[in-house]
Amino acid sequence: METTAFRADLEELLVGDERTWDPDGTLARLMAEVPGLSSLGKLALLRLAARHLGPGEAYLEVGSWKGLSIIAAMLGNADAPFFAIESFDGYGVRGREAREALRRNVEAWIGPGRLRLLEGDFVALLRRPGVLPHPVGVYFYDADHSPLGQYLALALAEPHLADEAIVIVDDTASPTVARATDRYVEGRSAYELLADLPGSPSGGRWWNGLRVYAFRRTAGGASPAPGVRWRRLVYASVYRPTAAFFGRVMPRAGIRLAHAIRSLPRILRGHPREPIGSFLLLDETGSAGGPGRRGRARRGGGVYSSR
């Protein structure tokens, strides 16, 4: 991945609009046919990133649902390997429906055999040696946005990244997502923030916010991120099984319990719990809509991802 070349094209995309992002209307047709929570700008950015993959590099998406974002990235990028990690948890009995819809949508838009789906928990999968046979040139994360999940998603993916890569984090308009991402990249010189794009769960130019990072592996490799071991232990032994159980037997209670568990670190630090579905109101320039102004998310909102 030539991150410098991508940066130049990204700057051009950011000053564009729907006419330059989607001149032939392909992305608009995709959004009309494939369900998902996204915006034209977000899909255009993902497609642009995939076009900059280097030879032998892969595109990895964690959190694909019915395939809207991964299909957008694959359009016009026929030669690169694409991988999607999706557990289909949190959808209750509709998990099977989402799985079949993902397969059907990818085959209709891209063709059979082009996407490799890795089904399961991303924490367990990313720890598995050899799970990804190619270095990852573009990594898009849009799954569990709890503080535990967000931190682990970056930490466990890093060994799989190419020496130069693009890392894109979704739903960063959520304060929880932004804080967990900041906590991981702080002090890690391998990460350079290229763009912090505003949004809200009710939609916008960049949907619910995006962060775009250039990753450049330093000589000798980066030191392990602090706190990965205990976070992984809590996630695997407490958070994940508890939320999954209640999500199956009582979906609404499962969402609230997962939110309570993910808020525990904030409570212990003396911070109030973030309301389910809250978001910081931002305008298109990234300015807050007023001190402390928060709203209720109609969709997405941080407990589960907005795709």
Reported as a single tens digit per residue, the pLDDT across 257-307 is 555 555 555 555 555 444 433 222 223 333 333 333 333 333 332 222 333
Instruction: Evaluate whether 40 touches 31 at the Cβ level (below 8 Å).
Output: yes
The gap between the terminal CA atoms of the chain, to the nearest Å, is 25
pLDDT digits (tens, 9 = 90+) for 119-178: 999 999 999 989 999 999 999 999 998 899 999 999 999 999 999 999 999 999 999 999
DSSP for 169-235 reads EE-TTSHHHHHHHHHHHTT-TTEEEEEEE---TT--TTTT-EEEEEEEPPTT-PPPPTTHHHHHHHI
Q: In this structure, what CATH number is given to the domain that contains residue 173?
A: 3.40.50.150
pLDDT of residue 160: 96
Number of domains in the chain: 1
Dist. CA 191–CA 211, nearest whole Å: 11
pLDDT at 273: 45
Which among 258, 186, 172 has a CA at the least distance from the CA of 222? 186
Triad 276, 233, 86: Cα angle to 5°: 60
Could you report the per-residue pLDDT of 209-237, keeping only the tens digit for each?
999 999 999 876 667 788 898 898 898 88
Say how far apart CA 232 and CA 123 lie, in whole Å: 8
Closest to 199 measured CA to CA, from 40, 67, 52: 40
What was the pLDDT predicted at 289? 33
Determine phi and psi for 239, rounding to 5 degrees.
-60, -55
Q: Round the average pLDDT of the chain to a whole number and report it.
A: 82
Evaluate if residue 83 carries a pLDDT over 90: yes
- Contact (CB, 8 A) for 214 and 3: yes
Tell me what pLDDT residue 112 has.
93
List Cβ neighbours of 68 (8 Å cut-off, separation of 6 or more): 30, 31, 34, 35, 36, 38, 43, 105, 307
| Domain carrying residue 56 | 1-307
User: Could you tell me which residue, 252 or 86, shows the higher pLDDT?
Assistant: 86
